[in-house]
Amino acid sequence: MLDERRFFDALLEKIKQERGLDCTQYKPGFLKRRLAVRMRARGVKTYREYMRLLDDAEYEKLFETLTINLSYFFRDASTFKTLREKVLKPLLREKAEFGNRVVRIWSAGCASGEEPYSVAILLYELLGKELKDWRIRILATDLDVGALEKAKKGIYSQFSLKGVNARCVERYFEPLPRGEYALKPEIIKMVKFEQHDLIADPPPRHLDLILCRNVLIYFSRQQQEKLLHAFHQALNKRGYLVIGKTEVLMGAATSLFKPLDLRERIYVKIPVKEMEDA
């Protein structure tokens, strides 16, 4: 029994080291039940045995079981609240002060569009009538062409809207027959979707904000570090980075970004000059 507990902790540590996924963010009961599902599927009885089976394919299955691979509007409501208050509001204020009304945002690994559209809704609300005076560029990319096609259509099931309050549903979605909802064209047109491979393709440049949530965990530690360096270069001087709530920045990447809100996994780029002085 004692051994199993030790191996459970060792399993969580292995997942954290290899994929940057902080499983302690999950409720222990939930985590154990989901791990049990995968262990049964693979015909093993102990955490020790399961640890040995964890390769790329098994990680993928585990993420499916933990439902990390799903997306919905305003996923992690508190993150979007903090994003609005601590990132978007100051960013818009600062840009307006300097007369530079251009905002460049990248949703990297956007799946079927719920994340970039949530950001678009926040900006639409924050800017109101002034929106027409701004150039808001929200680029959303993913490897999965099918997901991007769905994103461009902007039609969602009730599940995708589970984090959206009634006022917002009424304002930005049109109910369709068969229980689906169509996102309004004024929000759809704020986001541009493109296929992009985070491992093989260069990132866009001069960004104010990158959201790369629940994607890093799919990559090896080495790939994550390379990608985070690329994000650092892609961001403007004090650009922001948001990662998933269960993800952790690892290794060298911790010297590239400083936390703005650690709980919500929102970081600010440390400019190269400050990195050299440190």
Find the shortest distance in angstroms from Cβ 85 to ligand SAM.
20
- Token reading at 23: 């499983």
Which residues form the interface with ligand SAM (CB under 6 A)?
68-69, 71, 75, 109-111, 115, 142-144, 147, 197-199, 213-215, 218, 244
DSSP 8-class letter at 47: H
In the bound state with ligand SAM, the residue whose beta carbon lies nearer, of 51 and 143, is: 143
DSSP 8-class letter at 108: E
Cα dihedral value 69, 166, 81, 214, nearest 10: 0
Q: Where are the beta strands (DSSP E) in the chain?
A: 102-108, 135-142, 155-156, 173-175, 181-183, 191-195, 207-212, 235-243, 257-261, 266-269
Sign of CA dihedral 256, 259, 264, 269: negative
Find the shortest distance in angstroms from Cβ 213 to ligand SAM.
4
Find the shortest distance in angstroms from Cβ 45 to ligand SAM.
29
Find the shortest distance in angstroms from Cβ 219 to ligand SAM.
7
Bridge partners (DSSP) of residue 141 are: 108, 194
Find the shortest distance in angstroms from Cβ 184 to ligand SAM.
20
Residue-wise burial string across 119-151, b where 16 or more C-beta atoms lie within 10 A, e elsewhere: bbbbbbeebeeeeeebebbbbbbbbeeebbebb
In the bound state with ligand SAM, the residue whose beta carbon lies nearer, of 139 and 215, is: 215
Find the shortest distance in angstroms from Cβ 77 to ligand SAM.
13
Determine the residue type at 246.
T
In the bound state with ligand SAM, the residue whose beta carbon lies nearer, of 127 and 190, is: 190
Tell me the Ramachandran region of residue 258: left when phi exceeds 0, alpha when psi lies from -120 to 50, beta otherwise: beta
In the bound state with ligand SAM, the residue whose beta carbon lies nearer, of 108 and 127, is: 108
In the bound state with ligand SAM, the residue whose beta carbon lies nearer, of 20 and 109, is: 109
Residue 107 exposed, middle or buried by CB count within 10 Å (0-12, 13-18, 19+)? buried
Instruction: List CB contacts of 31: < 8 A, sequence separation 6 or more.
Output: 23, 66
In the bound state with ligand SAM, the residue whose beta carbon lies nearer, of 220 and 254, is: 220
Find the shortest distance in angstroms from Cβ 82 to ligand SAM.
15
Residue 171 burial (CB count, 10 A): 14
In the bound state with ligand SAM, the residue whose beta carbon lies nearer, of 47 and 244, is: 244
